[in-house]
Amino acid sequence: MFDDLKDFLKREGNFSFWKNIIFMAVVAGIANAGLLAVVNSAAKVVENESLNYRIFAIYAVVLIIFYITKRYSLVNSSKEVEKIIKNVRERISNKIVQSELLAMEKINPSSIFTPLTRDTAVMSQSSLQITNAAESAIMIFFALLYILIISPVSFFVILFATVIILSMFLSFSKMINAELSEIDKVEEGFMISLSSIVNGFKELKMNSKKREDIARENHVVLTKLGNSKVRNSEKMVTYMMYGQMFLYFLLASIVFVVPHLSQEESSTIIQVTAITLFIMGPFIMVVNVAPMISRTNVAINNIYNLERELDKESKETVVLTDNDNSKIETFNNIHLQDASFYYTDKDNSKLFGVGPINLNIKQGETIFIIGGNGSGKSTIVKMLLGLYPPKEGSISVDKEIIDEYSQQSYRDLFSIILTDFHLFDRFYGLEGVDRKAVNKLLVEMQLQEKTKFINGRFTNTDLSTGQKKRLALILSILEDKQIYVFDEWAADQDPEFRKYFYTKILKKLKENGKTVIAVTHDDAYFGVADRVFKMEYGQMLPYKKGN
C-alpha cells in the first residue's frame, strides 16, 4: 500500500530529510504514549490521596516534547510535500513547453490539467493526514507495549484481534485503490463530454438531434460515474465502520473475556479499558487514512503517466546560446525545397498532407495565401513556421538548412497570430516596454476605452474576438520580429478596420522592412501583396486573377 508513496518520496524529495521527519514523528508517538502512562501513574497517586510534584513535572516535560516534535513533523512534512509538488509541476510544465506541437495535439488537455491540479491537490491535502496518522500509529504501538507490561493477557487478545482486522483492511484497501483508478478514467470521459458541450455550443443549439444525442451520452457517462462513486463510498463507509466496530469489539473483549482468561485485578482491567478508550481516536485516524493513501497512490500514478506520455510523444528542444554559430538574427531569403508534411493515422499510414512545396520568400516582401477550407492553408503555415517540421524536403535560410540545432532560432524570426491564437495579458519575452508606445497603439487599434496598460499588463482581455485580435496585434508589433504571420486576422474586423489593417498596418510593416505572410480571403486587397498564392489540394500555386 505504501510502495508508490515511498518510491515517490525517494525519487522526488530529500529522503534524509524525511528520516528527520520520521524520527520526530516517532518521538511524538512515544511522547503521546508516555503521557498516557504518566496519567495512569498520577491516577494511582490520587487513589493514595497524595500529591506528587515529580509526576506533574514529568507530565509537563513529556507534553512539551510531544508538542515540539509533533509540530515539527507536521509542519516540515507539509513543507517538503509542497516543495515536491512545486518541483513536479515545474518539471512537467517545462516538458510541456519543450514539447513539439504535434505531440501536444495528441494529448487530451484534461489528461494534463487533472494531474497537475486535482491530483497534486490530493497529495497536498494528504501530507498532514498521513503524517498525523503515522504519529498515531507509533503512539498506538507504544500504548500496546504499555498494556503488555500491565496485562500480558489483554495485550495478546488485542494483538490477535488487530492482526485479523488489519489483514482485512489491507485487502479492502487494494479494492478501493482499483476502484479509484477506474473512477479517474470515467471522470476523464466526463471532462471530454463536457468539453464537447461547451466548445460545440453553437452547433448543438442549431441541431436538436445532435443535442439530444450528446445529452444521452453525457447522461450515460454521469450515471456510470455516479454509480462508481456510490459503490466506492459504500466501501469507504464499510471500511470506516469496520474500524469503529473493531474498537468496540476490543472493549468487549477486555471487559468480558480477559477477566475469564486470567485473574486480573479490577484496577488493571480499568486501566487497560482506559488506555483502549484513549487510543480509539488515533486508531480511527490510522484506519481512515488508508483510503487517502490509496487516493494519493492513484494521483502519483496519474502524474507519472502524464510525464511518460510527454516523454514518449516529444523531444527536448535544443537551446542555443547567443554565441552559437547556428543562431539566426536576420535573413535575406527563406527557401522551401520540395517541402512536404502529411498527417498519419495510428498505423502510420499517410493521411492528408501538403507539398511538395517550392517557395522562395525574400526579406521585406508581403505574401498572401488564399484557398478554401481544407485546402492546407493552416498546415502550410505551420510547416513554414517550423511548428510542423517537413517530413520530406527542407527549409533553409540563406542556403543554411534548418535542423534541430537551428530550429528554435529560426522560429524566433516570427511573430504570429493564428486562428486559434492565445491572448496574453502582458509582454512575455520583452523587457522595458515603452508605456507610451503601448498607449499609442491602443489608440490606433481603437482599444483605449476597452483596456489600459498598467503595471506591465493589460487590465482587461475580456473582449470581442475582433478586439482580442487587435490587442494581440499590439503585442505582435512590439515584439519587432523579422517576419509577421497572420492567419485570417481580418476575418473578425469591421469593414473600416479591415481596410485600415491592409492599407495602413501592413504598409507600415513593409516600410519598416518586415516580411508579412497573411492567410486571407479579402480579394479586394490582393493588390497590397507582392505575391498571392492559392492552396489547392495541398499544393501551393501562384494565383492569377480569375482562377
- Would you state the pLDDT for residue 110? 72
Which has more confidence, 10 or 94? 94
Q: Which amino acid is at 69?
A: T
The helix (run of H) or strand (run of E) holding residue 357 is strand 350-362
**Alpha-carbon span 197 to 397, nearest angstrom:** 44
Q: Domains of the chain (ranges plus CATH)?
A: 81-313 (1.20.1560.10), 333-542 (3.40.50.300)
Contact 412, 405 (CB under 8 A): no
- Would you state the pLDDT for residue 174? 65
| The pLDDT of residue 545 is above 70 | no
Which DSSP symbol is given to 459?
S
Cα angle value 114/116/122 (rounded, 5°): 80
**% of residues, the chain, pLDDT over 70:** 89
- Would you state the pLDDT for residue 173? 65
| Over residues 411-415, mean pLDDT | 90
Q: Which residues contact 106 (CB under 8 A, 6 or more apart)?
A: 313
Nearest in space to 517 (alpha carbons), one of 371, 417, 421, 439:
417
pLDDT band at residue 170 using 50, 70 and 90 as cut-offs? low
Distance of CA 5 to the CA centre of its chain: 18
Contact 31, 62 (CB under 8 A): yes
Which has more confidence, 480 or 315? 480
| Over residues 377-399, mean pLDDT | 90
pLDDT band at residue 519 using 50, 70 and 90 as cut-offs? very high
| The pLDDT of residue 506 is above 90 | yes
**Alpha-carbon span 419 to 36, nearest angstrom:** 69
CA dihedral 520, 523, 527, 533 (to 10 degrees): 50
Sheet holding 392-397, edge to edge: 350-362, 333-344, 392-397, 400-401
Cell of residue 225, nine digits = 460515474
| Over residues 444-452, mean pLDDT | 89
Cell of residue 459, nine digits = 487590465
Q: How far is CA 319 from CA 188, 326, 411, in A?
A: 35, 11, 12
Residue-wise pLDDT tens digits, 274-330:
888 787 778 777 777 777 777 788 888 888 888 888 887 665 444 444 445 567 888
Cβ atoms within 10 Å of 422's Cβ, excluding its own = 7
**Alpha-carbon span 508 to 513, nearest angstrom:** 9
Residue-wise pLDDT tens digits, 124-144:
878 778 888 888 888 888 888
Residue-wise pLDDT tens digits, 220-267:
888 888 888 787 777 777 766 776 777 777 777 777 777 777 766 677
**Alpha-carbon span 146 to 283, nearest angstrom:** 16
**Alpha-carbon span 231 to 229, nearest angstrom:** 5
Nearest in space to 61 (alpha carbons), one of 29, 38, 40:
38
